[in-house]
Amino acid sequence: MNGNSPFSLFSIYSDSNGKTWIVEFEDEDSKPKFAGAYGQLTPCGGGDPIPLIKDRLLVGRRNECDIQLKFANVSSHHCRLTLEHGYWFIRDLNSRNGLKVDGRPVQRKRIDPNSKVSIARHEYLIEYEPQMLGAYGPPPADDDYLEDLMKSSLMDRAGLARRDPKSPSSNRNRSE
């Protein structure tokens, strides 16, 4: 803050649920600059940033989408971006060519700031400040760990070995 001025810079944000929050900045230079109020998607191959202007955005090829990507390999309704507790989440809407976040295929995932998002092989860097969007405390739980968790059996998750039904004697302790 400027030592000569008793005033601070504030930005007031609100979402579609009526939640409002105030963010204070030391000076104009410390306030992040984004194309939209909620951040931006910057094409990795160059091009103009895409503003994130609402807390729920439909991404696809159709005209009614909030973010229109006019590429043949992008589905008509490809994915949805939602802002939850100050962090962006992305969900695949059964698209043909899928989504990746930082190189990993996903169905639904939290997108941390400066992550690389691939929408049908078109790569974007998502830029935003969670604190400016109402985040506090640790980030909300990410959903990708559930997918990995559900790939293993309950017995494996409990740390118990599986028995081989074809060879019951191999399941016994040999010292008996």
Confidence of residue 47 (pLDDT cuts 50, 70, 90): very high
Q: Answer yes or no: is 116 within a domain.
A: yes
- For the cut 70, the answer to whether the pLDDT of residue 106 exceeds it is yes
Contact at 8 Å (CB) between 100 and 120?
no
CATH number (domain holding residue 127): 2.60.200.20
Give the pairing of strands 50-51 and 87-92. unpaired
Total domains, the chain: 1
Q: Answer yes or no: is 62 within a domain.
A: yes
Residue 37 to residue 13: CA distance in whole angstroms: 8
Q: Answer yes or no: is 115 within a domain.
A: yes
State pLDDT tens for residues 5-40.
444 444 444 445 555 544 444 545 545 578 788 999
State pLDDT tens for residues 32-44.
578 788 999 999 9
Residue 93, SS3 per DSSP: coil
Both tokens of 111, joined, read 């997108």
Q: Answer yes or no: is 148 within a domain.
A: no
Q: Answer yes or no: is 86 within a domain.
A: yes
Both tokens of 71, joined, read 């590429």
The number of beta carbons lying within 10 Å of the beta carbon of residue 6 is 7
Q: Answer yes or no: is 160 within a domain.
A: no
Residue 137: the pLDDT is 85
pTM over 0.75: no
Q: Answer yes or no: is 163 within a domain.
A: no
Q: What is the domain extent for residue 105?
A: 36-137
C-alpha 43, offset from chain centre: 16
Long-range contacts of 27-30 (CB under 8 A, 24+ apart): 27/1, 27/2
Q: Answer yes or no: is 30 within a domain.
A: no
Residue 87 to residue 106: CA distance in whole angstroms: 16
Both tokens of 3, joined, read 């030592």
CA distances from 94 to 34, 83, 108, 109 (A): 30, 20, 11, 14
